[in-house]
Amino acid sequence: MNVTCTGRYLTVTVRQMVFILLISAALGTAVNLIRPDSIPFVDSWSMADKLVAEDGDTLAIPFEDAATLFAENAAVFLDARTPAEYDQGHIQGAVNLPWHDVDIYFETVIMTLDPEAAFITYCDGDACLLSHDLAMLLKDLGFTRVKVLVNGWTLWKEHNLPVTTPSS
Amino acid sequence: MPQKRLSHDTTLSLGYHFIRLVMAGVFIYASIDKIIHPDLFAQAVYNYQVLPGYLVNLTALILPWLELTLGACLLINRWMAGTSALAAGLMTLFVGLTLFNLTRGLDISCGCFSAAPDENPITVLTLVRDISFLILSLGLAGYRHCHPNFKHPGAVYEFQR
Residue A43: which residues within 8 A CB-CB, separation 6 or more? B42, B53, B54, B56, B57
Q: First-to-last CA distance in chain B?
A: 29
Q: What is the per-residue pLDDT for A124?
A: 87
Range list of H helices, A35-99 = 47-50, 63-71, 83-88
CA gyration radius, chain B: 18
Q: What is the per-residue pLDDT for A55?
A: 65
The count of structural domains within chain B is 1
Domain extent, residue B67, equals 2-146
Sign of the alpha-carbon dihedral angle for A23, A29, A32, A35 = negative
Identify whether B152 is part of a domain. no
**Side-chain half-sphere CA neighbours of B149 within 13 A:** 13
Q: Are A122 and A61 in contact (CB under 8 A)?
A: no
Q: What is the per-residue pLDDT for A53?
A: 66
- The whole-number average pLDDT for the span A86-110 is 89
Q: Does A64 or B2 have the greater pLDDT score? A: A64
Residues of chain A found within 8 Å of residue B107, distances taken between Cβ atoms: 81-82, 85, 123-124, 128, 130
Sign of the alpha-carbon dihedral angle for A56, A62, A65, A66 = positive
Identify whether B160 is part of a domain. no
Identify whether B154 is part of a domain. no
> B118 pLDDT band (50/70/90 cuts)?
low
DSSP H or E segment with residue A148: strand A145-149
Dist. CA A135–CA A97, nearest whole Å: 11
Least confident range of A14-18, A23-27, B115-119 = B115-119
Identify whether B159 is part of a domain. no
Check CB contact under 8 Å for B62 and A28.
yes
Q: Provide the residue type at A134 as one letter.
A: L
**B14-44 in b/e burial notation, b at 16+ Cβ within 10 A?**
eebeebbeebbebbbebbbbbbebbebbbbb
Q: What is the per-residue pLDDT for B155?
A: 38
Q: What is the per-residue pLDDT for A20?
A: 98
Identify whether B155 is part of a domain. no
| Burial (CB count <10 Å: 0-12, 13-18, 19+), residue A25 | middle
CA nearest to A100, candidates A146, A55, A131, A59 = A131
Of B49, B58, B82, the CB nearest to A13: B82
Asked whether residue B157 carries a pLDDT value surpassing 50, the answer given is no
DSSP H or E segment with residue A10: helix A3-34
Q: Does residue A19 sit at the B interface (CB-CB below 8 Å)?
A: yes
Q: What is the per-residue pLDDT for B134?
A: 97
Q: Does A54 or B104 have the greater pLDDT score? A: B104
Q: Are B31 and B114 in contact (CB under 8 A)?
A: no
CA gyration radius, chain A: 24
Identify whether B158 is part of a domain. no
Q: Provide the residue type at A99 as one letter.
A: W
Ramachandran class of A150: left when φ > 0, alpha when ψ lies in -120 to 50, beta otherwise = beta
Dist. CA A140–CA A56, nearest whole Å: 18
Least confident range of B1-5, B47-51, B97-101, B142-146 = B1-5
Helix (H, G, I), strand (E, B) or coil at A90: strand
Q: What is the per-residue pLDDT for B158?
A: 44
A163 phi/psi in degrees, rounded to 5: -130, 165
* Residues in chain B whose Cβ is within 8 Å of chain A: 35, 38-39, 42-43, 46-47, 49, 53-54, 56-58, 60-66, 68-70, 73, 79, 81-83, 85-86, 106-108, 117-118, 145-146, 148, 156-157, 159
Identify whether B153 is part of a domain. no
Q: Does residue A137 sit at the B interface (CB-CB below 8 Å)?
A: no
Cβ neighbours, 10 Å, residue A103:
8
> B7 pLDDT band (50/70/90 cuts)?
confident
Complete domains list, chain A, with CATH: 1-42 (no CATH), 47-164 (3.40.250.10)
Dist. CA A88–CA A96, nearest whole Å: 12
- The whole-number average pLDDT for the span B131-148 is 91
Q: Does residue A41 sit at the B interface (CB-CB below 8 Å)?
A: yes
Asked whether residue A96 carries a pLDDT value surpassing 50, the answer given is yes
Identify whether B151 is part of a domain. no
Dist. CA B20–CA B14, nearest whole Å: 10
Least confident range of A81-85, B25-29, B47-51, B66-70 = B47-51
Q: What is the per-residue pLDDT for B131?
A: 97
- Reported residue count of chain A is 168
Least confident range of A91-95, A129-133, B134-138 = A129-133
Interface predicted TM-score of the whole assembly (ipTM), two decimals: 0.87
